[in-house]
Amino acid sequence: MSAINKIRKQAAANIKTIVLPEYEDERTIEAEKIIRKEGLANPLVLTPDAIDKNQKERYIEEYFNLYKSKDIDLDTVKKLFSDNLYYGAMLTREGKADGLVAGASHTTADVARACIRCIGLDERFTIASSCFIMEVPNCSYGDEGTFIFADCGVIPDPNARQLSCIAFTAAELAGKVLQLTPRVAFLSYSTKGSAKTRAAEKIAEALALLKTLSPDILADGELQGDAAIVPEVAQIKCPESPINGAANVLIFPNLEAGNITYKLVQRLSGCRALGPLFLGLNKPASDLSRGCFAEDIVDCVAVTAIRAQ
């Protein structure tokens, strides 16, 4: 059974309510039909009839009170809430929905901003980041071609602490959603000090910080891509590595590397790329590529539902 099929099966075993703000997008409506037919979740599509005007007014007031110290005025907040994205994020914040999926007709920045401001940040990390579930066909690396790539959507140039938080939350997702034992590789152009630069030193710092967050996690860095996922190369370049060239959670040094790599792998291999899945929020939320298909929305809803369990 493929990773995607396992995800759908797991979501169907414990139905959660996932809000879909983009009711005007035909892909959202098509996805809703599939989700209901397969019993994967309770999709809450925010059509005009689904908006409670009194509740919306309360959310506007609550949001204004949260951020009025930042010199935001009430008219600006009302304009924000003319977009259902903010209403859906507040529903999730309040627990009236278990999670949110959007991005078919919004940019990642728009979705991330609404989720960070409304759903809020997990106080353990105080940063939001993202990851992709990558299912590469006919691939023996990772877990039979299944990987987590992070961060590919949010933080442009993470510092060592941020990289450690990205790794921790991505590993958590690998365990909960994919039921995999995470094997984390911090990627670089250097393997174990083969290049003496500040960029490589940052990766070593991130690994040390991750070990502080979670001493038992299986992780290594800094590693070049081949040393991270190819056992034969790992035996040559880093024979003492605890992951032995079998990484399934790949942590990129910056957003450029992560975003470029996931898109190239997706297009060159024909793999499924689910995400960006936001990490570090108080409640689960997922972004979508604006070029997504209805099936991508379905699968992101399933992932978000599992994370809410």
On the 0-12 / 13-18 / 19+ scale of CB atoms within 10 A, 49 is: exposed
Residue 136: C-alpha distances to residues 244, 270, 301 (Å): 20, 7, 20
* pLDDT score of 293 more than 70: yes
Cα distances (Å, whole numbers) of residue 235 to 147, 200, 239, 240, 276: 21, 20, 4, 8, 32
Scan for tokens 């949260």, then name that residue. 66
Q: Using alpha carbons, select from 168, 295, 184, 171 the residue that is nearest to residue 242.
A: 184
End-to-end CA distance of the chain: 22
Is the confidence at residue 156, as pLDDT, over 90?
yes
195 pLDDT more than 70:
no
CB of 191 within 8 A of CB of 222? Answer: yes
pTM, entire model: 0.93
SS3 category, 136: coil
- For residues 235-263, average pLDDT: 96
Kindly state the percentage of the chain with pLDDT values over 70.
99
Residue 129 has pLDDT above 80, yes or no: yes
pLDDT at 248: 98
d(C-alpha 183, C-alpha 171), whole Å: 8
Mean pLDDT calculated for residue range 212-222: 93
